Amino acid sequence: MYVTREADYAVRCVLHLSKSPEETVPANDISKSMSVPRSFVAKILQRLVKKGIVVSVRGVQGGFQLARKPKDINLLEVIEAIQGPSAANICALNKKTCRLSNTCAVHPVWVEIREMVEKKLKEKDFAALLKK
């Protein structure tokens, strides 16, 4: 599984918001803490809003906060919110896309790898990550 730079930044955004889950944090503060351009952070946060991971608050005291508790958000969910489902090989995502999946000796290996990675990423919630 390849994690894009944008997905990595999304994980960092959620981790930043997890430090004070009840507070509304301006995108500018998140941007500064990560040394990432504000426009890029804002774009990522909007995608997380659309997926129900983050909520945006308008107004002078506006910004972003988590839609759920950090313990209820996992790494897989955040990564897939940005880059969609991932796998080492496309046939591991959908058996129908590979016409050789029934006879291919490697297909089960790709599926097993994808399942192992997904399992690990699902196990890692943001409350646990804060403890590290």
Q: How far apart are the first and last CA of the chain?
A: 23
Residue 30 has pLDDT above 90, yes or no: yes
What are the φ/ψ torsions at residue 89 (nearest 5 degrees)? -150, 140
Tokens at 76, concatenated: 């897989």
Sequence-separated (6 or more) residues with CB below 8 Å from residue 49: 55, 56, 64
Q: Under CATH, which number does the domain 5-130 receive?
A: 1.10.10.10
- CA angle, residues 45, 1, 103, in degrees to nearest 5: 135
pLDDT band for position 91 (50/70/90)? low
Q: Quickly count: other Cβ atoms within 10 Å of residue 124's Cβ.
A: 14
pLDDT at 101: 59
Domain layout of the chain by residue ranges? 5-130
How large is the average pLDDT for residues 60-76? Answer: 96
Record the pTM: 0.85
pLDDT band for position 9 (50/70/90)? very high
The DSSP output letter for 4 is P
Enumerate the β-bridge partners of residue 63: 57
